[in-house]
Structure 1
Amino acid sequence: METWSDDRVREAVAARLPHHRAGSITRLGEGEDNVAFELDGELIVRFSKDPDPESRAARIDAEARLLHAVARISPVPVPEPLFADPGLGCLGYRRLPGTPLLGLPVPDPSAARLGTTVGELLAALHAGRMVSLVELDVQPGAAWLEEAAETYAAVAGQVPAAYRPRIEAFLAAPPPHDGYEPVFSHNDLGIEHVLVDPATLAVTGVIDWSDAALCDPAYDFGLLYRDLGPVALDSALRAYGEADGIRERAVFHARCSVLEDLAYGVAAYVDKSVAAFAWLFPG
C-alpha cells in the first residue's frame, strides 16, 4: 500500500520549490482519489492515489492545466498550481483563505449574496471553452432517478416519516426533459467546496475541481439549491440569466443528490440533508 510520510512531502516540495523550507506538516484528509497535506498553514500539497504511474502522471498534468485555465476565467479565486510533478504524482498550490461553508449558519440575506456569487461564477464557467481539458459527464434523467431510488431504499429509515410519501412520489414521477447542451462546470459545487470569510460569509474561493466536466448546466445550480435553499437559487439564476429548463432540472438534481448526501453518512452531510427536506419536498 502507498504511504505518504512527512519526508515524502518535504521531498516533493524541495524538488519543485527549493527555496521553501517546510516546517509544520498537517495531513488534511484523504479521499478515494487523493491525499492532501498542508505545509506551514500556507501551502497545500496533494498526492494522487492512482497506483498506475502513467495514469497518475496524466491525471496530475491534466488537473494542473485545467486549474490554470479555470483561474483565467473564474471571477472567484481557485487553487492555481505553484508546481505539478507528474512523476511523484503530486500538485502544490497556495492555500486559499477562508473556511468551508459547510456547517456554518447562513441567514437568508447571506444566502442571497452567496447565490449571486455562484450564479456569476457559473455564467463564466459555462461560457468557457474547455472541451479539450475535461470529459463529458452526462446521463439521462431516468438514470439519475433510478440511482436515487436505489439510494432511497438504503436510507429510507433515516428520512423523517412525514417526507417519505413525498420522496416516493418524486421517485415515481417522470424526470424532466433531457434536451440541453452540456457546458463546462465544476460539477460538484456543494457548499463543502465553497470557502468563505466566516465573519461575513463572502466567498473567498472555490476548491476541488477534480470532477469538473462537460455536464448539465443545471447540475451545480441543483447542488446550490440543495444546500442553501430557494433564496440562493433565485439569486443565482438572476445573476446567471435564467435559461429554459434550468430551474426545473436544478430542483430535480437537488432532490436526487440530497439522498446521496444522506447516504454518505458523515454527520455534517446528514444534518444538512435532513434540513433541506423542508424546501426540497414541501407538503
Structure 2
Amino acid sequence: MQDKFQRETQRREIRTHEAKIKIRSTFPDLDIKTIRFLAEGVDNEVYEVNGGLVFRFPKTRENKRELAHEAHALALLDRKGFPEIPAVLYWDETATIMGQKMAKGVSADHLKLTDEGIKSIGSQLGLFLRRLHSVPLEGVQSSGVEPFRESPQKIKALYRKRLVEVQEEVPDELRGQLETLLEKEVSEPKRLVLGHNDLRSDHIFLEDGNVTGIIDWGGIGISDPAFDFGRIYKSFGEPGLDAALESYGEDDDELRERSIYYGVISSISSVVRAKRAGDRDRLAGKVENLAKIVQRYNGISNSFE
C-alpha cells in the first residue's frame, strides 16, 4: 500500500514539474512562485499557481475541443458581466491551456447544508440563471458557442449510451426502471436559452452561504432551460429546485416536470464518471444514490399525470 502511495506521489511530482514547464513556456510573463497539484478528473488535470490561479490541462483531443469551446464562451460572458464566473486571465489556443482566477469558497458538494441553506442557494441560482438565460442568442453561435444536445430525443439517446456503458454495474431492476424512464415522452421547451448545462454541486462554490463561483463551462450551449434546473434538482432536491424556479420568475409546470426528469436521468453520468475513474467505492456509492433518486422520482411522478 505504501509503495502504491509513494508511486502516486512521485507521479504527481513529475506531472507538476511538467505542468510548470508548460505554463512557463506558454506564458513567459507569468512569474510562477508556487505550483501544486490540485485535482485530476476524467477530463483534466488541475494545478494551483501562486495561490490564486487555477490552470487546467485537458487530457484528450475531445477535452481540448471542449476547453477551447469554454474559452470562447467565457470571453462572451465576460463582456456581459457575470461576477460568479472566475475570470480567464491566461488562454493559449495552440497549447490549449487555460488559467483562471480561483473561485472563492468551497464547492457545495463538500458542505453539509441545512434546509434553509438549500433554499437560499436555490434562490441565488435561480437569479443567476435568469440573467444567463436572458443573454440574447443573436451572435452567440458566431462567438464559438455551439448548440448543446437540445432536443429530448438527443438527450435521451445520450443517456441510453451511458447506461449501456455501466450496465454491468447497475442492478437489473434499476436498469430496467431507467430504460423505461428513457422511453418516457418529454415535452419540448417553449424556448431555448444560453445554458451552463452541467450545473452540478461540485461546480458551485459557496462562501458564508453566498454563491461565489460557477465553474466548468465546457458544456455551455444553446439548450432547454430545464437542463440547468435539472442539475439543481439532482444536487439540492425539490426544495432547491422550487426556490430556484420561484426566483427565476417563470411559473411553468412543464419546465418543472422536465427539470426533475432531466435531473434523474443525468444521475447516470455520475455512475459513468466513477467507473471511468476506476474508483470502486465511489462507484458503489453513485449506484446507490442513483437508485434513491429513481425511487424518489417514482414517488412523485404520479403528480405529473
Which TM-score applies when normalising by structure 2?
0.75
Q: What are the Cα deviations for residues 105-129 of structure 1, in whole angstroms up to 9, with x where unaligned?
A: 2222111111111111111111113
The amino acid that maps onto 2:155 is: W
Partner of 1:253: 262
Q: How is 1:32-47 mapped onto 2 (pairs within 5 angstroms)?
A: 32=43, 34-47=44-57
Q: Is the 8 A contact 1:36 1:45 kept in 2?
A: yes
Q: Is the 8 A contact 1:73 1:125 kept in 2?
A: no
Report deviation, 1:260. Answer: 2.7
Matched, 1:12 2:29: no
The amino acid that maps onto 1:234 is: D
CA distance in 1, matches of 2:177, 2:66: 41
1:218 match: secondary structure? helix
Q: Is the 8 A contact 2:198 2:231 kept in 1?
A: yes
Partner of 1:186: 196
CA distance in 1, matches of 2:41, 2:232: 24
Q: Is the 8 A contact 1:185 1:214 kept in 2?
A: yes
Report deviation, 1:248. Answer: 1.8
Q: Is the 8 A contact 1:84 1:92 kept in 2?
A: yes
Matched, 1:273 2:283: no
Q: How is 1:115-264 mapped onto 2 (pairs within 5 angstroms)?
A: 115-129=122-136, 130-133=140-143, 134-149=145-160, 151-152=162-163, 154-155=166-167, 158=170, 167=178, 170-173=181-184, 175-197=185-207, 200-242=208-250, 244=252, 245-264=254-273
Partner of 1:111: 118
Partner of 2:9: none
CA distance in 2, matches of 1:18, 1:64: 20
The amino acid that maps onto 1:203 is: V
Report deviation, 1:241. Answer: 1.4
CA distance in 2, matches of 1:67, 1:51: 20
Q: 2:106 aligns with which of 93, 99, 119?
A: 99
Q: Is the 8 A contact 1:76 1:203 kept in 2?
A: no
More helix by share: 2
Q: What are the Cα deviations for residues 36-78 of structure 1, in whole angstroms up to 9, with x where unaligned?
A: 21123321112234559xx95x866653342233234465521
Q: Is the 8 A contact 1:114 1:202 kept in 2?
A: yes
Aligned residues: 273
Q: 1:70 aligns with which of 77, 80, 92?
A: 77
* CA gap 1:24/1:213 in 2 versus in 1, 3 angstroms: same
Matched, 1:24 2:35: yes
Which TM-score applies when normalising by structure 1?
0.80
Q: Kindly, what percent of the aligned residue pairs are identical?
A: 23
The amino acid that maps onto 1:123 is: R
Q: Is the 8 A contact 2:67 2:218 kept in 1?
A: no
* CA gap 1:41/1:171 in 2 versus in 1, 3 angstroms: same
Give structure 1 stretches of 5+ with no counterpart.
none
The amino acid that maps onto 2:206 is: V
Q: Is the 8 A contact 2:55 2:98 kept in 1?
A: yes
Partner of 2:90: 83
Of 225-234 and 270-279, the range deviating more from structure 2:
270-279
1:124 match: secondary structure? helix
Q: Is the 8 A contact 2:227 2:262 kept in 1?
A: yes
The amino acid that maps onto 1:46 is: R
CA distance in 1, matches of 2:172, 2:83: 37
The amino acid that maps onto 2:205 is: L
CA distance in 2, matches of 1:86, 1:146: 32
Give structure 2 stretches of 5+ with no counterpart.
1-13, 301-305
* CA gap 1:211/1:112 in 2 versus in 1, 3 angstroms: same
